[in-house]
Amino acid sequence: MSTIDRTPAHATNGNGKPYKVIGTRPIRHDGVDKVTGRAKYGADIHLSGLIYGVVLRSPHAHAKIRSIDVSQALALPGVRAVVTHKDLREPGDRIVELGEGAVNLRHLSNNILAADKVLYKGHAVAAVAADSVHIAEQAAGLIKVDYETLPAVIDVEAAMKPSAPLLHADLFTDELGQKAKAPSNVAKHFRFEKGDIAKGFAQAKVVIEREFRTATVHQGYIEPHNATAMWNADGYITVWTSTQGSFTVRQQVAELVNAPISHVKVIPMEIGGGFGGKIRVYLEPVAAILSKRTGKPVKVLMSRADVFEGTGPTPASYIRVKLGVGSDGKITAAETYMAYEAGAYPGSPIGAGAMCIFACYDIPNGRIDGYDVVVNKPQTSAYRAPGATNAAFALETVVDEACEQLKIDPLEFRLKNGVKEGSRRVDGPVFPRIGMMETVEAVKKSEHWNTPLTGKHRGRGVASGFWFNCGLKSSASATVNPDGTVALVEGSTDIGGSRTGIAMQLAETLGIAATDVVPTVGDTDSVGYTDVTGGSRVTFATGYAAYEAARDIQRQMVERAARIWEVDAAKVSYENGGVTGPDGKRFSFKELAEQINKTGEPIVGRGTVDPEGCGGAFATHVVDVEVDPETGKVDIIRYTAAQDVGTAIHPSYVEGQIQGGTVQGIGWGLNEEYFYDAAGTMRNSTFLDYRIPTCYDLPMIDTLVVEVPNPGHPYGVRGVGEVPIVPPPAALANAIYRAVGVRMKQLPMSPPNVLKEILRKGASK
């Protein structure tokens, strides 16, 4: 069943569903702390005896480190320690799974403090701990690094050429499973195939082939990276940091500083945004070894420039797409060549991008070639539906052009070709029950779509997008308090209001109010293993764990009531927020909670899950723009995002995720880019010149919340956080085309880039 919910009063539980809590909009549990400034973020931790660390970064995009002389820095009064790569453990070429992507530990270690080579401007080389941050900064300036500079390559196409400067002498292309003989910047080439593309293109009436280029962009979280560590004399290490995954930080720190995981305790602070960029560690091991050397707690913070130049952007890419469509408007074949920049070490999200590019459409014959390419830029990290936005920009623009040539309405094209339950992706998997078509239907019925757009230089564009979502491991425990409330401890650091979404699923299961659950995000010693807050998994998987914890409480409460009533537990059941026994016996949850400590052992529920069936997410967006034909500036007049969310647990947070993701996609589409000079130095590592949209650049992002419940979750939840970033650049490009007649094949579609196309078109007339 699909429903559309646009107004707060029209919550899902008003739609005939049996929910009391799910679909309502309670005030978030962390709301007061956050609006009053009382919430503690990473930089807010203060400890007695705290000293400060500063990281020295490479001024060169590519250079050998001949030597590092720290003597002058160490001699400065107030300096306590200087560390370099030698102070980290050499972990070898082992691969560890971080939850949303794997990492080679040697690469990770070299990224944290460079060993013999710096591979990008901003690459960390050494770190200083001193009594004040100012002394530490001054000391960092006294470290003498002798570099032998090397030619840099900062562009994916250039890096793939045989003549390109090599980043790693020991990197040999994995060419369709075979290891190449000579080293190269291409880490990997893989291919997915389905059907017979030659036959498919031969059947097409229209075949369109286009090239696309997208720029490097950053996640742009407001809170810079931070880490505070105390390496105790007994060998136990405590790390305070804002992260998307306390347990992955524990694992990475343990591996990199050579400590057992049981000796590392990670205390997650509130987090000011991550979007995938706060999974990999940067500062945590540095703070830990500085603390080990000094015996004091050490805090290390990044500046905004450090964040841009030293932490995970998402890749620039080159994508070629060829699409064949028959005279009946059905896709006959599709082919793509996709090369993504990995940054300094292998591991771009090319795999995900390749699996997403054709995922919205039922494609009988397809081929996908993917390339993972190293360049002299910071190592890329996950960013909200990693790899999918680049891919959708290319494919959805070509789809739009095919619609134009065949004179098919873009929504009708999607209804004709869109995927549904049973469709097989080019890379193999068959879709379970999904809601792609429902998002198209929602747009088709929307007031926005049915209101004609008038005015000069205005255009309307449509695009769709897909993201897998994921399950992974989560834990929760819940203690029943005598006053009838429940203290919930869960392991997912809360980025988008998830602790409330999780608490609501516990409350729903127990039949109590959301406000009667007090959720806490536990540290690594106080909650069971929980994977990262990523992959749009938290409300799905950690919510599932909370559901299981609630079921566990139900069982214990049934047993307790049976004991109190002296009846067989089989005759007692949990229903309607309480227990019911024979002969009209009844305890409400609160009544029984009050009895617990008087009648036996405490009641603590536990839930641990590793669920399959996360259910994919689809979105279809429509945008109206107005373009200034004299300057190339694009103004967004109206935006509507339709998305299948499974079940909206807390509709406000679902809408917030859709709006936030859309806005990031708009920024990526219109103005965001790493701007490099010829030497490979980023010239715009500030929020002044790296332009994320401000509230003045955006209309209200209207949301169409479509609910196609996910059969893989007790409440039908699907992840919602990532897919909304996928369609915006393509939707904007299609709208710009309709406004001023130019097809943008390059991101960002900034005024200079758009004006260039407008002037070129004018000149060719």
Partner 1 sequence: MRDFEYEAPASVAEAVKILSRHNGSARPLAGGTDLIDQIRTGRHAPQVVVDIKKIPELSVLELTAGGLRLGAAVPCYRMYGDPRISAAYAALADSARIIGGIQIQSRASVGGNLCNSGPAADSTPSLIALGAVAVIAGPAGQREVAVENFCTGPGKNVLAPGEFLVELKLPPRLPHSGSHYRRFIPRNEMDIAVVGVAASVVLDGSGEKFVSARVALGAVGPTPLFANEVGKLLAGQPVNEQTIAKAADAARAIARPIDDMRGTKEFRLHVTGVLTRRVIEESVQRARS
Residues forming contacts to partner 1 in the complex (CB under 8 A) are: 134, 137-138, 630-633, 635, 670-671, 675, 683-684, 688-689, 691, 693-694, 696-697, 750-752, 755-756, 759
Q: Considering beta carbons, is residue 140 or 159 the nearer one to partner 1?
A: 140
Q: Considering beta carbons, is residue 153 or 758 the nearer one to partner 1?
A: 758
Q: Considering beta carbons, is residue 133 or 518 the nearer one to partner 1?
A: 133
Helix (H, G, I), strand (E, B) or coil at 206: strand
Q: HSE (CB half, 13 Å, CA atoms) of 502?
A: 39
Question: Phi first, then psi: what are they for 662, rounded to 5°?
Answer: -60, -45
Question: Phi first, then psi: what are they for 158, rounded to 5°?
Answer: -65, -40
Distance, in Å, from the CA atom of 451 to the CA atom of 472, rounded to the nearest integer, reads 43
CB of 508 to partner 1, least distance (A): 42
Q: Is 267 left (phi over 0), alpha (psi -120 to 50) or beta?
A: beta
Q: Which helix (H) or strand (E) covers residue 128, if one does?
A: strand 124-130
Distance, in Å, from the CA atom of 181 to the CA atom of 183, rounded to the nearest integer, reads 7
**CB under 8 Å to 520, separation ≥6 — which residues?**
487, 488, 489, 490, 499
Tell me if 373 sits within 8 A of 357, measured CB to CB: no
- Tokens 């609910």 — which residue? 707
Strand partners, 716: none
Q: Considering beta carbons, is residue 629 or 727 the nearer one to partner 1?
A: 629
Per DSSP bridges, beta strands 51-57 and 298-301 are parallel
Q: Considering beta carbons, is residue 451 or 631 the nearer one to partner 1?
A: 631
CB of 460 to partner 1, least distance (A): 21
CB of 663 to partner 1, least distance (A): 13
Distance, in Å, from the CA atom of 554 to the CA atom of 607, rounded to the nearest integer, reads 12
CB of 697 to partner 1, least distance (A): 5
Q: Which burial class, exposed, middle or buried, applies to 41 when counting CB atoms under 10 A from its CB (0-12, 13-18, 19+)? A: middle
b/e per residue, 645-682, with b = 16+ CB within 10 A?
bbbbbbbbbbbbbbbbbbbbbbbbbbbbbbebeeebbb
Residue 220 CA, chain-centre distance (Å), reads 12
CB of 752 to partner 1, least distance (A): 4
CB of 723 to partner 1, least distance (A): 26
CB of 745 to partner 1, least distance (A): 18
Helices 543-565, 498-510: inter-axial angle, 10-degree rounding: 30
Structure tokens at 460: 């309307």
CB of 47 to partner 1, least distance (A): 23
Q: For the chain, how big is the Rg over CA atoms in Å?
A: 27
CB of 736 to partner 1, least distance (A): 14
Tell me if 265 sits within 8 A of 251, measured CB to CB: no
CB of 689 to partner 1, least distance (A): 5
Among residues 212, 218, 319, 313, which one has the least CA distance to residue 672?
218
Q: Considering beta carbons, is residue 394 or 758 the nearer one to partner 1?
A: 758
DSSP conformation letters of 343-412: ESSS--THHHHHHHTTTTB--SSEEEEEEEEE-SSPPP---SSTTHHHHHHHHHHHHHHHHHHHT--HHH
CB of 664 to partner 1, least distance (A): 15
Q: Considering beta carbons, is residue 629 or 646 the nearer one to partner 1?
A: 629
CB of 226 to partner 1, least distance (A): 18
Q: Considering beta carbons, is residue 97 or 689 the nearer one to partner 1?
A: 689
Q: Considering beta carbons, is residue 714 or 751 the nearer one to partner 1?
A: 751
CB of 696 to partner 1, least distance (A): 4
Distance, in Å, from the CA atom of 401 to the CA atom of 421, rounded to the nearest integer, reads 27
CB of 134 to partner 1, least distance (A): 6
Structure tokens at 117: 């080579």
Q: Considering beta carbons, is residue 592 or 747 the nearer one to partner 1?
A: 747
Q: Considering beta carbons, is residue 525 or 630 the nearer one to partner 1?
A: 630
Tell me if 65 sits within 8 A of 114, measured CB to CB: yes
Tell me if 298 sits within 8 A of 291, measured CB to CB: yes
Q: Considering beta carbons, is residue 355 or 625 the nearer one to partner 1?
A: 625
Distance, in Å, from the CA atom of 15 to the CA atom of 651, rounded to the nearest integer, reads 14
CB of 309 to partner 1, least distance (A): 14
Q: How far apart are the first and last CA of the chain?
A: 51
Q: Considering beta carbons, is residue 547 or 690 the nearer one to partner 1?
A: 690
DSSP conformation letters of 296-327: S-EEEE--HHHHHHHS-EE--EEEEEEEEE-T
CB of 387 to partner 1, least distance (A): 26
Q: Considering beta carbons, is residue 133 or 453 the nearer one to partner 1?
A: 133
Q: Considering beta carbons, is residue 132 or 405 the nearer one to partner 1?
A: 132
Tell me if 532 sits within 8 A of 495, measured CB to CB: no
Q: Considering beta carbons, is residue 643 or 681 the nearer one to partner 1?
A: 681
